Amino acid sequence: MTSAPTTTLSQPNTHTKDIASDSSETAFSLRSRVNGYYELTKPRLSFMSVITAVIGYLAADPTRDFGVLASLLIGTSLAAGGAAVLNQWLEREADAQMVRTQDRPIPSGQIAPYNALMFGTGLSVFGTYLLYAGANPLAGLLTAATIASYVLLYTPLKKLTTWNTLVGAFPGALPPLIGWAAAENGISTLGWILFSILFLWQMPHFFAIAWTYRKDYEKGGFIMLSNSDENGTRVARQAFAFAIALVISTLLPTLLGYASWGYGAVALIAGCYILRPAWRFLKADVRDTAARRLFIASIFYLPALLIPLVLDLWLI
C-alpha cells in the first residue's frame, strides 16, 4: 500500500485555507467531485495491494471460501484506498508545491480537506472491519497495522529522515500477509518469504522514482536520499544492492522446497531482467533515463515472478 509524500501542517493559516477549500469544492460538478474521490484512492496503487493480497491468499492453498475471498477483495480495496486518501490529506500542502502532485484532488480544490479526511477514515475503518469480521481477526489486525504504519509512521518520516523509504516498504509488503492470514488464520514461512520479496522489490522501485522526481521532492520538503546525492551514486548503489537481495529472496521458495525448479528457473530469468537495468542505473553517467527504465522494469517484474510462483504452488 505500497508503491508513495507529508507535512507537519503547523502553519497558522491551515484552518483558514481548509475553510476556503471547503467552500471552493462546490464550484466543481458532481461528476468532477466523484472522479476526485476516486482519484484520491490512488486506484492503481490500491489495485496492486489487492492483487498482492490475493496472491498471498492463493499461495496459502486455502479452502477457497468465497465469502472470505470476497471480504479480502473488498476489504483490501477499501483499506488501501483509505490509506491513500489519508496520506494525501496529510500531504496536501506539500503536494501543492510539487509539479507532479499539484493537480491532485485536494490541492487543486476539487475535494475539500475535511471531506477527504472523513472519506479516508471511513474507508479505512470499514475495510479493516470487513477483513476482521469476514476473514478473521488476524487479517483485520494486519490490515490495521498496514494503515497505521503507512499513515502514522511512513508519511511523517518523509519530512524527517532518508530512512523513510525503508520504513515505507514495511506497509507496502504487508498485503500478501493479509491474504495469507485470511486463508489460514496464521502465517507460515512461505508467507514471510512473500513479505520479504515485496519488501525488497520496493527498494529499487522507489529509488528509481526518487531519483526521477528528486527536484519535486525537494520542493515539497521531503527528505530523500536523492536530494543530497548530487550524481546519484549512493541511490544507484542501494538500488542495485537491494535488487541483488531481491533476486536471492525469490529463490528461497525453491531452495526450501515449497516450489519446483521450474519456478526457480523463472525466478532466475526474472532476476536477470531486473538486475540489468539496476546495473545500468549504477554505471550510467547521466542517470535519468536509466532510472526510468529501472522503474518500468520493476513494474513488469513483479507479476512475471509472482504469477508463476502461485501456479507452481498449485501444481506441485
CATH of the domain at 258: 1.20.120
pLDDT surpassing 70 at residue 2: no
Rg (CA), the chain: 20
Task: Supply the range of the domain harboring residue 32.
Answer: 1-187
Residue 6 to residue 217: CA distance in whole angstroms? 10
The confidence band for 299, taking pLDDT boundaries of 50, 70 and 90, is very high
For residue 100, name the pLDDT band (cuts at 50, 70, 90): confident
- pLDDT tops 60 at residue 270: yes
**Is the per-residue pLDDT at 14 higher than 50?**
no
Distance in angstroms (rounded) separating the CA atoms of residues 110 and 68: 36
For residues 175-196, average pLDDT: 95
**Which pLDDT score is estimated for 3?**
45
Same domain, 145 and 63: yes
- Confidence bin at 28 (pLDDT 50/70/90): low
Domain match, 109 and 135 both: yes
The answer to whether residue 20 scores a pLDDT higher than 70 is no
Three-state SS sequence of 5-22: CCCCCCCCCHHHHHHHHH
In this structure, what CATH number is given to the domain that contains residue 109? 1.10.357.140
Cβ partners under 8 Å of residue 301, min gap 6: 201, 270, 273, 274
Confidence (pLDDT) at 25: 56
User: Mean pLDDT, to the nearest integer, of 20-44?
Assistant: 76
259: DSSP letter: S
User: In this structure, are 71 and 110 located in the same domain?
Assistant: yes
Q: How far apart are CA 240 and CA 62, in angstroms?
A: 35
Question: For residue 15, what pLDDT is reported?
Answer: 47
Average pLDDT (162-188) is 95
Q: Are 160 and 39 in contact (CB under 8 A)?
A: no
CB atoms within 10 A of CB 13: 8
Three-class SS state of 216: helix
pLDDT digits (tens, 9 = 90+) for 53-89: 999 999 997 667 889 999 999 999 999 999 999 999 9
Stretch 267-287: mean pLDDT, rounded?
95
pLDDT over threshold 60, residue 256:
yes
Q: What average pLDDT score do residues 245-262 get? A: 96
Report d(CA 57, CA 175) in Å as an integer: 10
Question: Of the candidates 217, 195, 197, which has an alpha carbon nearest to the alpha carbon of residue 207?
Answer: 217
**Whether the Cβ atoms of residue 90 and residue 9 lie closer than 8 Å to each other:** yes
At position 102, the amino acid (one-letter code) is Q
91 and 108 together in one domain: yes
The residues, ordered by sequence, that sit 6+ positions from 6 with a Cβ below 8 Å of its Cβ are 87, 90, 91, 94, 155, 156, 157, 158, 159, 222
Q: Which comes out higher in pLDDT, residue 12 or 32?
A: 32
| Band of pLDDT at residue 33, cut at 50, 70 and 90 | confident
Is a pLDDT exceeding 80 seen at residue 295? yes
Q: In terms of pTM, does the model score above 0.75?
A: yes
DSSP string, 185-221: SS--HHHHHHHHHHHHHHHHHHHHHHHHTHHHHHHTT
User: How many whole angstroms separate alpha carbon 107 and alpha carbon 97?
Assistant: 9
Query: What is the domain count for the chain?
Result: 2
Are 2 and 149 contained in the same domain? yes
Report the distance separating Cα 258 and Cα 191, nearest Å.
11
Looking at the structure, tell me whether residues 176 and 37 fall in a common domain: yes
Same domain, 70 and 119: yes
Q: Which of 187, 209, 226 is the last residue of a domain?
A: 187
Average pLDDT of every residue of the chain: 90
- 162 and 19 both lie in a single domain: yes
- Exposure on the CB side of residue 225, measured as CA atoms within 13 A: 20
Please indicate, yes or no, whether residues 201 and 176 belong to a single structural domain of this protein.
no
3-state SS, residue 242 = helix
pLDDT above 90 for 171 = yes
Share of the chain above pLDDT 90, in %: 76
**Judgement on whether residues 225 and 149 belong to the same structural domain of the protein:** no
Residues 80 and 103 in one domain: yes
Higher pLDDT, 316 or 192: 192
